[in-house]
């Protein structure tokens, strides 16, 4: 090829001079944007700080969001500069050859190394913040390996069925409620299961999400820190009324919780006696008891 | 490598297509296919009803899945019999030698409604087929956005709404997988590699003709109660559903078969039919992307078909493979589905990247930067895509040990994805850039995919996934990667190759109006959805918090405007091809790629008079003294592409 054919703007010398300026521009813009993300946007990011797990998720979102501007600006600045600087000008031959190089070992090498290091760092970061906050509020299945290490956690069983959530409280006589109140400053173990199809228990402000599978106990942990209302939504498509499968819960003081739980236990005592014995899962009976969805003419019903 | 395995005539003809000869209305075509399909459905449905006589639970349930599925299977057999696609294999099976004909040379527009063995005709069939499927699914998306204008007031009933959601998702995900391979892989890649024919023309034709019947079956679900399981079809919900769910099984399964046929053909063609001199190091990057795509399809689609088969058994033969209460497991479906489902996401990304890396050097007048890295990127994406599927199941209750592993593999996939950005940035550096319509669309891919890729980091990070999984954040993320990626690349490719395919040049002015409106309204539609998801709105719901109403209304209005932009494309595209018909000049973009050096636009039957000998790399744009790409360049460069005097 002929470098002679190139005008000055496309010469190696000209571009060598501009690269440090572009990098400086990148550093300055990225720094400003990242600081704004961390300090201005960061404290307001979801899902808030109602629990340790929510605060952990907020920190993670804040941290990753702070890393976004450097990547965005790096790509934008180099693309933008190229498009502005080397766009064909009026009068230029649009089909004339531009620079003739097929690669640049230093640039490629740096790219491979930097992207690999960033990616490995992000994986390590994610793993650390998954393990330390006891599974980060996600469903860990029936045999959780990251636990808070606290005895006597409040046990809350979440039972999903088309199309509502109910809650059982083994430490309160196995009662079942349609509402959920939680005490503040308390470690909580959610045992999530389903009576029919797959649902998902998403307590948004608590930073908890766990699929509700039939015949599976999906365990998630959280520790409440702030009083307030939280939203519970089903987050796996479960049929026609999936969009209406939500309710609200409350984090209240420990005294208020005790009062509510005691009252509910007394109020529901007659119903609790009729419930199946507390269990981590409930296989719907073929005969239709326990929320089974198989119709009476199911051939297995008489087995 | 090779060459021309045709018979002594050297024309590369393939015998056995039913298009030759006369026959009037009874000549196999889409009309006879429809007649065959109707007859097949009636026969299949009757057999199904006969089988199930005496089974009280089926009779009493108000739906007979066995009759439904056998009806559809009969319809597919009748459809292909009507098309004449079975003539050749049946004659062969009975020892007869099917008469040779020359279907590739058939003239006129009616060939597009027949089963044909010409890869270019199949490419055009795919192009218009994909546009119809895309616009249908797009209209369904607007129906969804109309419902979400209000958090509580409903346009659709809850069941209609969730059926629309399922139809939109399934149609987009199953059909758009072939949006590049179908039209451009089939049409352009054989020309690019200098072959007169493809390796398996019957498989290629079959792959296309699976798509209309699959599309029809899927849409017919709307008349049968639909399916409320979404495109993911999670069991046991999908076992619980009515007969509409069978349309999901059959529609998705047939599209899977289509992809297996198409990918087998493209892989065999690229490996075996490259012209002399078209070494692996000279293979166009689009060829590498198609090869990676093809292998990924061949390895992942059978798992989907297996899963659908299991689901069909649960629904018809009353097995309980997917229901834990009877000894099966709902996790089985989740894993089978996503073992296909995540590679499928890359089946959508890889061809988009292939188009980008192929087209940008033409408008940069520079060699593609880091050619081997781009090929490595496609292969890396293809391989890694098989090791990430459980990131869809982080909150499912899967073994928690697996989560750091799948978080790592998912993060690792950023590395080959990053290669594509390296290729783009390097190719534009010190370039001579023309901002034509195709180039703008390719740059649009880079702009959009950046958001899709970066938000992928959020989704793959397990602690963040707790908040964003199943929310509109994820929905925005994958629309940025799929619509922002492959669909933008698809439209850019239409503008780029229309002169070759039709002989007509599309207006740059209209194309740029389409591009700018589409990219503005695309971002205006999907960017706010990241916030909507982070603020707690799950996907696929018809009711949401009042505080999210403004954002949702903004998105819905933007979606209408995005739809208007696409309608503008449809009208202007058809208008320019049917009415204004401005003839193109030869090689209008100044490409070095072999497809532009055919004798005429559209290319003649069998593409080249003789098999070209490739002399140089197709990306030598920076070297004015480089050898032409093949020995036919000088023979064709002065020919008028559309036969003007």
Sequence-ordered list of residues with C-beta below 8 angstroms from that of B358, at least 6 positions apart, any chain: B284, B285, B286, B289, B368, B593
**Domain identity same for B141 and B84:** no
Query: Is A154-284 a CATH 2.60.40.420 domain?
Result: yes
Q: What is the mean pLDDT of residues A102-122?
A: 94
Q: What is the mean pLDDT of residues B4-28?
A: 50
> What total of structural domains would you count in chain B?
2
pLDDT of residue A284: 62
**Domain identity same for B51 and B140:** no
Q: From chain A, pick out residues whose CB is under 8 angstroms from the CB of B461.
A: 60, 64, 122, 125-126
Do B236 and B322 form a contact (C-beta atoms < 8 A)?
A: yes
Nearest to B415 among A47, A60, A115 (CB): A115
Distance CA B621, CA B614 (A): 16
**Domain identity same for B419 and B454:** yes
Do B449 and B484 form a contact (C-beta atoms < 8 A)?
A: yes
Nearest to A233 among B394, B466, B538 (CB): B538
| A237, burial (CB in 10 Å: exposed 0-12, middle 13-18, buried 19+) | buried
**Domain identity same for B54 and B154:** no
Question: Does residue B23 belong to the interface with chain A, where contact is any CB pair within 8 Å?
Answer: no
Nearest to A215 among B324, B467, B623 (CB): B324
- Tokens in use for B498? 């229309």
Q: Which residue of A has its CA nearest to B369?
A: A102
The C-alpha of B403 sits at a distance from chain A's nearest C-alpha, in angstroms, of 8
Question: Does residue A126 belong to the interface with chain B, where contact is any CB pair within 8 Å?
Answer: yes
- Tokens in use for A133? 């906050």
In a domain, B66, yes or no: yes
The C-alpha of A10 sits at a distance from chain B's nearest C-alpha, in angstroms, of 5
- Tokens in use for A1? 């090829």
In this model, does residue A286 exceed pLDDT 60? Answer: no
pTM given for the model: 0.93
The ipTM value here is 0.91
pLDDT in tens, B289-333: 999 999 999 999 999 999 999 999 998 888 889 987 778 899 999
Backbone φ, ψ for residue B48 (5° rounding): -60, -45
Domain boundary among B556, B580, B604: B580
On the question of a cis peptide bond just before residue A47, with omega within 30 degrees of 0, the verdict is yes
Interface of A with B in 266-285 (CB under 8 A): 283-284
**Domain identity same for B405 and B529:** yes
Residues found in chain A: 303
In a domain, B612, yes or no: no
Distance CA B141, CA B167 (A): 9
In this model, does residue B6 exceed pLDDT 80? Answer: no
On the question of a cis peptide bond just before residue A56, with omega within 30 degrees of 0, the verdict is no
The residues of chain A that CATH labels 2.60.40.420 are 154-284
pLDDT of residue B400: 87
Domain boundary among B51, B73, B101: B101
**Domain identity same for B263 and B323:** yes
pLDDT of residue B500: 95
**Domain identity same for B358 and B393:** yes
In a domain, B114, yes or no: no
Question: Does residue B195 belong to the interface with chain A, where contact is any CB pair within 8 Å?
Answer: no
From residue A92, how far is each of A88, A99, A137, B149, B434 by CA, in Å?
6, 15, 60, 50, 11
Half-sphere exposure of B636 (CA within 13 A, CB side): 28
- Rg of chain B over Cα atoms, rounded to whole angstroms, equals 25
pLDDT in tens, B483-492: 999 999 999 9
In a domain, B592, yes or no: no
**Domain identity same for B480 and B551:** yes
pLDDT in tens, B569-616: 999 999 999 999 999 999 999 999 999 999 999 999 899 989 999 999
Q: Which residue of B has its CA nearest to A9?
A: B430
Distance CA B184, CA A9 (A): 36
pLDDT band of residue B13 (cuts 50, 70, 90) is very low
For residue B631, the SS3 value is coil
Distance CA B469, CA B459 (A): 7
**Domain identity same for B72 and B127:** no
Do B639 and B600 form a contact (C-beta atoms < 8 A)?
A: yes
Tell me the residue range of the domain where B20 lies.
15-101
Q: DSSP string of A143-179?
A: S-SS----SSPEEEEEEEETTEEEEEEGGGTTEEESS
Query: In this structure, what CATH number is given to the domain that contains residue B389?
Result: 1.20.210.10
In a domain, B108, yes or no: no
SS3 for B60-91 is: CCCCCHHHHHHHHHHHHHHHHHHHCCCHHHHH
Residue to substitute from A87, A123, A193, A249, interface B, most B β-carbons within 10 A: A123
From residue B299, how far is each of B99, B161, B179, B259, B567 by CA, in Å?
35, 34, 19, 11, 36
**Domain identity same for B202 and B64:** no
Question: Does residue B538 belong to the interface with chain A, where contact is any CB pair within 8 Å?
Answer: yes
pLDDT in tens, B376-423: 999 999 999 999 999 999 999 988 888 899 999 999 999 999 999 999
- Residue B16's nearest CA partner among B237, B201, B242 is B201
From residue A144, how far is each of A134, B332, B346 by CA, in Å?
9, 20, 32
For the beta sheet containing A218-223, the strands, ordered from the edge strand earlier in sequence to the opposite edge, are: A175-177, A164-169, A154-161, A187-194, A218-223
The C-alpha of A211 sits at a distance from chain B's nearest C-alpha, in angstroms, of 5
pLDDT of residue A241: 93
Half-sphere exposure of B586 (CA within 13 A, CB side): 17
Question: Does residue A63 belong to the interface with chain B, where contact is any CB pair within 8 Å?
Answer: no
């Amino acid at each position: 090829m002929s470098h002679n054919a190139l005008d000055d703007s496309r010469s190696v010398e000209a571009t060598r001079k501009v690269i440090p300026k572009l990098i400086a521009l990148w550093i300055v813009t990225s720094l400003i944007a990242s600081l704004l993300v961390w300090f201005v946007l960061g404290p307001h990011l979801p899902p808030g700080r109602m629990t340790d797990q929510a605060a952990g998720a907020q920190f993670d979102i804040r941290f990753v969001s702070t890393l976004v501007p450097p990547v965005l600006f790096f790509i934008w600045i180099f693309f933008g500069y190229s498009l502005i600087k080397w766009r064909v000008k009026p009068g230029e031959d649009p089909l004339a050859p531009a620079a003739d190089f097929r690669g640049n070992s230093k640039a490629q090498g740096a790219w491979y190394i930097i992207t690999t290091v960033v990616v490995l760092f992000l994986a390590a970061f994610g793993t650390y913040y998954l393990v330390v906050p006891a599974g980060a509020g996600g469903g860990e299945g029936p045999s959780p390996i990251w636990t808070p290490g606290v005895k006597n956690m409040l046990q809350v069983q979440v039972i999903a069925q088309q199309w509502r959530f109910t809650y059982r409280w083994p430490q309160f006589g196995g009662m079942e409620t349609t509402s959920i109140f939680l005490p503040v400053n308390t470690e909580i173990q959610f045992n999530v299961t389903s009576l029919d199809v797959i649902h998902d228990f998403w307590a948004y402000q608590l930073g908890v999400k766990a699929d509700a599978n039939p015949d599976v106990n999906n365990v998630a942990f959280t520790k409440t820190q702030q009083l307030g209302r939280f939203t519970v939504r089903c987050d796996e498509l479960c049929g026609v009324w999936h969009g209406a499968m939500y309710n609200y819960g409350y984090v209240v003081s420990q005294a208020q919780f005790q009062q509510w739980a005691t009252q509910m236990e007394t109020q529901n005592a007659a119903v609790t006696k009729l419930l199946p014995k507390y269990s981590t899962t409930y296989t719907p009976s073929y005969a239709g008891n326990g929320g089974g969805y198989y119709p009476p003419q199911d051939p297995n019903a008489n087995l | 490598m090779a060459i021309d395995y045709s018979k002594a005539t050297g024309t590369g003809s393939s015998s056995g297509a039913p298009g030759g000869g006369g026959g009037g209305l009874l000549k196999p075509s889409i009309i006879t296919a429809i007649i065959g399909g109707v007859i097949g459905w009636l026969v299949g449905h009757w057999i199904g009803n006969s089988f199930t006589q005496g089974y009280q639970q089926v009779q009493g349930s108000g739906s007979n899945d066995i009759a439904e599925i056998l009806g559809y299977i009969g319809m597919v057999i009748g459809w292909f019999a009507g098309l004449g696609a079975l003539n050749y294999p049946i004659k062969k099976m009975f020892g007869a030698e099917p008469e040779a004909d020359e279907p590739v040379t058939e003239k006129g527009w009616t060939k597009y409604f027949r089963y044909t063995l010409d890869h270019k005709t199949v490419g055009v069939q795919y192009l218009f087929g994909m546009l119809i499927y895309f616009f249908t699914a797009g209209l369904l998306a607007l129906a969804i956005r109309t419902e979400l204008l209000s958090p509580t007031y409903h346009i659709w009933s809850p069941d209609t709404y969730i059926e629309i959601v399922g139809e939109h998702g399934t149609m987009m995900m199953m059909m758009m997988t072939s949006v590049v391979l179908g039209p451009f892989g089939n049409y352009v890649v054989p020309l690019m590699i200098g072959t007169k024919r493809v390796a398996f023309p019957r498989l290629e034709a079959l792959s296309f003709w699976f798509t209309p019947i699959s599309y029809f079956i899927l849409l017919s679900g709307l008349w049968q109660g639909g399916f409320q399981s979404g495109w993911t079809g999670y069991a046991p919900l999908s076992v619980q559903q009515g007969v509409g769910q069978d349309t999901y099984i059959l529609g998705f399964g047939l599209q899977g078969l289509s992809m297996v046929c198409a990918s087998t053909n493209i892989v065999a063609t690229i490996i075996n039919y490259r012209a002399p001199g078209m070494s692996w190091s000279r293979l166009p990057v689009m060829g590498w992307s198609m090869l990676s795509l093809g292998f990924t399809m061949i390895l992942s689609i059978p798992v989907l078909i297996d899963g659908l088969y299991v689901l069909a058994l649960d629904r018809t033969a009353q097995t309980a493979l997917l229901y834990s209460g009877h000894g099966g497991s709902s996790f089985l479906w989740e894993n089978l589905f996503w073992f296909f489902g995540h590679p499928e996401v890359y089946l959508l990304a890889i061809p988009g990247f292939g188009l980008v890396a192929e087209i940008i050097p033409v408008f940069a007048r520079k060699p593609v930067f880091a050619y081997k890295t781009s090929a490595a990127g496609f292969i890396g994406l293809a391989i890694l895509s098989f090791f990430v599927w459980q990131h869809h199941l982080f909150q499912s209750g899967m073994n928690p040990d697996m989560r750091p592993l799948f978080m790592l593999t998912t993060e690792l996939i950023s590395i080959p994805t990053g290669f594509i950005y390296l290729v783009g940035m390097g190719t534009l550096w010190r370039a001579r850039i023309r901002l034509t319509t195709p180039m703008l669309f390719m740059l649009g891919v880079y702009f959009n995919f950046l958001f899709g890729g970066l938000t992928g980091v959020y989704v793959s990070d397990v602690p963040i996934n707790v908040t964003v999984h199943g929310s509109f954040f994820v929905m925005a993320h994958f629309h940025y990667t799929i619509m922002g990626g492959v669909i933008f690349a698809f439209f850019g490719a239409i503008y780029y190759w229309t002169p070759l395919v039709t002989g007509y040049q599309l207006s740059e002015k209209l194309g740029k109006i389409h591009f700018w409106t589409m990219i503005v309204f695309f971002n205006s539609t999907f960017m706010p959805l990241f916030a909507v998801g982070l603020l707690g709105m799950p996907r696929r719901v018809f009711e949401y918090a009042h505080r999210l109403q403004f954002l949702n209304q903004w998105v819905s209005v933007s979606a209408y405007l995005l739809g208007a932009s696409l309608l503008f494309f449809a009208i202007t595209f058809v208008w320019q091809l049917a009415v204004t018909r401005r003839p193109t000049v030869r090689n209008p973009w100044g490409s070095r790629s072999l497809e532009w050096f055919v004798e005429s636009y559209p290319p003649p039957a069998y593409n080249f008079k003789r098999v070209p000998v490739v002399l140089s790399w197709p990306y030598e744009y920076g070297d004015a003294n480089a050898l032409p790409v093949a020995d036919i360049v000088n023979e064709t460069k002065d020919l008028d592409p559309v036969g003007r005097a």
